[in-house]
Chains A and B, each alone.
Chain A
Amino acid sequence: MASDASHKLAAFSDEQLIDRYRQGNAHAFATLVDRYQQELFHFLVRFCANRASADDVFQETFLQVHRSIDTFDTDRRFRPWLFTIAANKARDFLRKNKKQRTVSLSTPAIPGDDSGRGYLDIVESDLPLPDDLAHQNELGELVREVVESLPDHLREVLVLAYFHKFPYREIADMLEIPIGTVKSRLHSAVGTFGQVWRSRYNEQ
């Protein structure tokens, strides 16, 4: 029975499911899609900042997994491969569909260090943190707005590292960038979040 088969498949690892799918077991693929529907969709909603876009990219991602299934090396882990495909699809989608985002290249508005680089000091800045906040009920929406306002390449690393707990090394492999760049983007994401959060929250 299909339900028995599905129940058994649920105990298989991702890589075992891919093996089964290559042998023609379509239930194995369905199990993979079902297994990752929450986590991958959450990643895409935060990265694409739009539910409809996340829906489209989710389908495109698994369509690509299906098309490339024979190229996957089952000695490696499926999850990073899946997120690599999803991140590529999401980046293409954002590039084609988003209004041009203007990233200011001029001097940061806050003081810099000796080299002229703008930075946020978490201790010395008067950053409003959860313990100090009056509008706790609106917190989520405010945070979402600020996270979505980050440049795509910073938001991508923030979501992968913080929300999905990928190690820096794995993110570097996924995005084909040096590990130093991953760290630098994460620091910029957190720093820029703090900087924008301070100004946005104080407007409330």
Chain B
Amino acid sequence: MDPTDMPAKPITTLSPADRQAVDALIEAAARGTAALKLAGFDEDATTVMPLPAGDGTRAERASKLLALIGHCPTVNPSDDLVHRTLTKINTEGFKQPVYQSFGYGLAGPSFRWSDLLGVAAVIMIGFSLIWPVLERSRADARRIECANNLAAAGAAIGSYAADHSNTLPRGNIQPGSVWWNVGQAASEEGPIQSNSAHLYLLIREGYAHSHALTCPDNVNAPDRLDPHNHDWASAPAVSYSYQNQYNEQPTRLDGIPDMAILADKNPLFAAQAARGIGLAYRGDLAPNTASSSHGERGQNILTASGQVLWSESPVIGDNDNIWLIRGVDQYQGTEVPDAPQDAFLVP
């Protein structure tokens, strides 16, 4: 069976006692201080490493589980792999300079300049005809790349949740505080100042790479998200809007598979240059305005089940507008959803 055809499986970790036993076995093998024949580490081992102290049965079972994984077969490289690799490198290493490959020599070019101008004109005309098509296909390619990034973010959120009691990424908050101060630096222990900083935990704690939280259509996005930072530097730098994390209780992933948790940027909360750091509510826009990330054509949306949808409308599922809280039409930056299943995605 193709492994990618297997049904999705929940991530499961080990019990605390098993984690200790596995760590002891893995670390001892990495140090190379003892042979771990029982755990399948070294077929030539003549001695068996003392198993971790404590529960002998547990250590032995952990060792056998690792030995079972060690039965995973592998295949050897083909005989000519080294040769093909070196040939490929030689091709690059000794390629000809460009001027030679175009046939320029001491005698000069072998065609007239008028020929060159004619060819250039034809190319220009052809290019102007296909430009709109190319532009549209490039936009589609960026939209698909954005969807792939959101899927990667979903996998990172899944890993985070598996390690954190099945909750969405969430740092230390002060309930009732303003959540839209994007870019306002947080201290190491102090409360988080913006909703985007909760999402940034995926970068800080190594669950996601920069690309997973960067939309290719966001021209203000930084090239790399530094794991030593706490938040994006400013609201325009943020690519995605994340389920608001300022409720008293963290959002758990249990039983909400269709709920939106991350999407292209919410257009109703925009950066206000005049106010410096932070956002302001755009009450002048229609509530169902599409994200501006992809030309206001729609938005990519990640649901709690890990699926990424493209939707032309921000209203999905049970008539839930993912940009707004049900029944709230004025925002000061402290509003939070009453119901845990009410999606409210903000930068």
Binding site for B on A (CB under 8 A): 29-30, 33-34, 37-38, 41-42, 45-46, 49, 51, 54-55, 58-59, 62-63, 66-67, 95, 98-110, 112-113, 115-123, 127, 129-131, 139-141, 143-145, 147-149, 151, 153-154, 158, 161-163, 165-168, 170, 175-178, 180-181, 183-188, 190-197
Task: Tell whether, in the assembled complex, residue B71 and residue A130 are in contact, meaning their CB atoms are under 8 Å apart.
Answer: yes
Further contacts, 9 of them, CB under 8 A, given A51-B75, A66-B93 = A33-B85, A45-B75, A59-B85, A102-B305, A103-B155, A116-B254, A121-B17, A163-B70, A165-B32
Answer whether A145 and B3 are a contact pair too, CB < 8 Å, given A33-B85, A130-B68: yes
Task: Tell whether, in the assembled complex, residue B14 and residue A197 are in contact, meaning their CB atoms are under 8 Å apart.
Answer: no
Hey, which chain B residues are within 8 Å of A101, CB to CB?
Answer: 4, 8, 155
Interface centre among B22, B41, B148, B164 (most CB of A within 10 A): B22
Hey, which chain A residues are within 8 Å of B86, CB to CB?
Answer: 29-30, 33
Task: Tell whether, in the assembled complex, residue B64 and residue A130 are in contact, meaning their CB atoms are under 8 Å apart.
Answer: yes
A108 to B232, CA, bound (A): 32
Task: Tell whether, in the assembled complex, residue B12 and residue A115 are in contact, meaning their CB atoms are under 8 Å apart.
Answer: no
Hey, which chain B residues are within 8 Å of A104, CB to CB?
Answer: 8-11, 158, 305-306
Answer whether A168 and B18 are a contact pair too, CB < 8 Å, given A103-B11, A106-B255, A140-B71: no
Answer yes or no: B126 CB below 8 A from chain A CBs: no
Interface centre among A105, A127, A143, A149 (most CB of B within 10 A): A105
- Determine which of B71, B88, B163, B165 lies in contact with A116 in the assembled complex, contact meaning CB atoms within 8 Å: B165
Identify which of B23-31, B214-222, B241-249 touches chain A: B23-31
- Determine which of B8, B82, B254, B257 lies in contact with A33 in the assembled complex, contact meaning CB atoms within 8 Å: B82
Task: Tell whether, in the assembled complex, residue A41 and residue B30 are in contact, meaning their CB atoms are under 8 Å apart.
Answer: no
Answer yes or no: B1 CB below 8 A from chain A CBs: yes
Closest A residue by C-beta to B64:
A129
Hey, which chain B residues are within 8 Å of A143, CB to CB?
Answer: 68-69, 71-73
Closest A residue by C-beta to B86:
A30
Task: Tell whether, in the assembled complex, residue B10 and residue A167 are in contact, meaning their CB atoms are under 8 Å apart.
Answer: no
Hey, which chain A residues are within 8 Å of B159, CB to CB?
Answer: 151, 153-154, 184-185, 188
Chain B: minimal CB distance from A131 (Å):
7
Chain B: minimal CB distance from A55 (Å):
7
A17 to B91, CA, bound (A): 21
Q: List 23 A-B contacts (CB under 8 A).
A: A33-B86, A37-B77, A46-B72, A104-B8, A104-B9, A105-B154, A105-B157, A106-B305, A108-B11, A117-B13, A117-B165, A120-B15, A122-B61, A123-B57, A143-B72, A147-B72, A153-B159, A165-B30, A184-B159, A188-B159, A190-B22, A193-B69, A194-B65
Hey, which chain A residues are within 8 Å of B158, CB to CB?
Answer: 103-105, 151
Closest A residue by C-beta to B4:
A99
Task: Tell whether, in the assembled complex, residue B30 and residue A161 are in contact, meaning their CB atoms are under 8 Å apart.
Answer: yes
Hey, which chain A residues are within 8 Å of B1, CB to CB?
Answer: 145
Q: Which of B226-275 contact A (CB under 8 A)?
A: 227, 252-255, 257
Hey, which chain A residues are within 8 Å of B253, CB to CB?
Answer: 105-107
A158 to B66, CA, bound (A): 10
Answer whether A197 and B68 are a contact pair too, CB < 8 Å, given A122-B61, A148-B3: yes
What are the 10 A-B residue pairs with the smallest beta carbon separation, nearest first?
A177-B206, A148-B3, A108-B10, A115-B165, A167-B30, A104-B8, A41-B77, A140-B73, A149-B3, A191-B12
Answer whether A149 and B6 are a contact pair too, CB < 8 Å, given A107-B254, A168-B27, A194-B65: yes
Q: Which of B253-308 contact A (CB under 8 A)?
A: 253-255, 257, 304-307
Hey, which chain A residues are within 8 Å of B227, CB to CB?
Answer: 176
Answer yes or no: B310 CB below 8 A from chain A CBs: no
B 45-66 to A, binary, CB cutoff 8 A, 1 in contact else 0: 0000000000101100110111
Answer whether A66 and B305 are a contact pair too, CB < 8 Å, given A105-B161, A122-B14: no
Hey, which chain A residues are within 8 Å of B257, CB to CB?
Answer: 105-106
Answer whether A129 and B61 are a contact pair too, CB < 8 Å, given A116-B252, A120-B13: yes
Closest B residue by C-beta to A112:
B166
Task: Tell whether, in the assembled complex, residue A186 and residue B8 are in contact, meaning their CB atoms are under 8 Å apart.
Answer: no
Hey, which chain B residues are within 8 Å of A147, CB to CB?
Answer: 69, 72
Closest B residue by C-beta to A100:
B151
A200 to B65, CA, bound (A): 15
Hey, which chain B residues are within 8 Å of A162, CB to CB?
Answer: 26, 29, 66, 69-70
- Determine which of A108, A123, A161 lies in contact with B55 in the assembled complex, contact meaning CB atoms within 8 Å: A123
Hey, which chain B residues are within 8 Å of A148, CB to CB?
Answer: 3
Answer yes or no: B67 CB below 8 A from chain A CBs: yes
A81 to B88, CA, bound (A): 21
Hey, which chain B residues are within 8 Å of A107, CB to CB?
Answer: 10, 166, 253-255
Closest B residue by C-beta to A42:
B74
